[in-house]
Amino acid sequence: MRRDSVMIVGGGMMGSGIAAISAIAGNPTILIESSDQAREKCPERLSGALDELAENGLISEGTKALAIQNIRYGKNPEEYCGEAFFVIEAIVENLAAKQELFARLDGLLPEDIPIVSNTSGLRITEIAALAKHPERTATAHFWFPAHLVPLVEVVMSDKTSLSMAEWVVRTLKAWGKAPVLVKKDLPGQLANRILQAVIREASHIVEIGLASAEDVDTAVKMGMGIRFPVWGPLEHVDAVGVDLCNSVQNSVLPSISDSHEANSCFAGMLREGNLGYKTGKGFYDWSVKDMDALAKLRNEFIIHALKKIRSADSSGSKS
């Protein structure tokens, strides 16, 4: 039996999106979902992701057709371990469930086959704690929606083999993703540490009455956020000058939040049962604000940004 397939365990929104990207890259791809009811929804999820990419010119209709041919669906990972050269776990975000699955896969697969987790919040050190070969484990956190957002955070534990982690980075780069290597297994990985710092100060600004939630979001979206696809914060430092940024930090940092706990705004909303969109109210009143329209606009903006980035990369490669 040829070991030429990518096996993705977990057929939810993330697993289906990852499977789409793997199949587009030309890999025979096996999407495992243990729930019969959930597995029935997988083809529709995958088709939706592929349709969105094709309709917006990010893949051709031919690539879409080949991707569909590359995908199979299964119930038990044991049946397909003999075919897999790369395994990605994308099941429920539950430590015990992930530990059990990693230990099971570790016992079924040759020790040179990488097993990675798509976890966004758990540490790979703990997920792989029951595995006999933790050196072949890592996190590969795809950002949602996985078929659109390029970022994947490849996180090493202190037992992860560097050569294996670098192989995962190279593999995902060949899939068209933008993987980053995170060398320490700390809470928040890499990008979420930055995002949580932004959320901490954004909620603090609302708490102290400096600006409304709407104006905070507008400032981020229409200021720094609109530059971020091509202008990172450390590129910004070099562009404006380390001397200026040093001065600004010394002036601004003493007055911003350095709290080690969630903002009191969250505690107040939790007491009132306001959990955001799922209950109808959070920082915003979602009875008058349209989440579906906002998510659609988000995807359209990501697609536009991807086209511009691809165009710039293509022009750079020709010069």
Hey, what's the torsion of the CAs at 113, 115, 116, 119, to 10 degrees? 170
pLDDT computed for residue 310 by the predictor: 85
Burial zone of 249 (CB within 10 Å; 0-12 exposed, 13-18 middle, 19+ buried): exposed
pLDDT of 284 > 60? The answer is: yes
Give all strands (DSSP E) within 150-232, no chain letters: 151-155, 178-182
pLDDT of 227 > 80? The answer is: yes
Q: How many whole angstroms separate alpha carbon 303 and alpha carbon 311?
A: 12
Q: How many whole angstroms separate alpha carbon 233 and alpha carbon 219?
A: 16
Average pLDDT, the chain: 95
Residue with tokens 């469930």: 97
Q: How confident is the model at residue 312 (pLDDT cuts 50, 70, 90)?
A: confident
Q: How many whole angstroms separate alpha carbon 95 and alpha carbon 106?
A: 16
Q: Using one digit for the tens of pLDDT, what is the confidence trace for 199-213?
A: 999 999 999 999 999
Q: What share of the chain is helix, strand, coil (3-state, %, to 5)?
A: 55, 15, 35
Structure-token pair, residue 24: 């587009």
Structure-token pair, residue 221: 């979206």
Q: Chain centroid to CA 193: how far?
A: 13
Give the residue among 1, 66, 78 at the shortest CA–CA distance from 29.
66
Q: Using one digit for the tens of pLDDT, what is the confidence trace for 45-92?
A: 999 999 999 999 999 999 999 999 999 999 999 999 999 999 999 999
pLDDT computed for residue 313 by the predictor: 77
| Residue 144: DSSP 8-state | S
pLDDT of 8 > 60? The answer is: yes
Structure-token pair, residue 196: 């949580």
Which residue type does 266 have?
F
pLDDT of 317 > 70? The answer is: no
Backbone angles phi, psi at 208, to 5 degrees: -90, 0
The answer to whether 44 and 122 are in contact (CB under 8 A) is: no
pLDDT of 311 > 90? The answer is: no
pLDDT computed for residue 318 by the predictor: 58
The answer to whether 139 and 189 are in contact (CB under 8 A) is: yes
pLDDT computed for residue 309 by the predictor: 86
Q: How many whole angstroms separate alpha carbon 207 and alpha carbon 209?
A: 6
Q: Using one digit for the tens of pLDDT, what is the confidence trace for 153-194?
A: 999 999 999 999 999 999 999 999 999 999 999 999 999 999
Residue with tokens 């993330």: 14
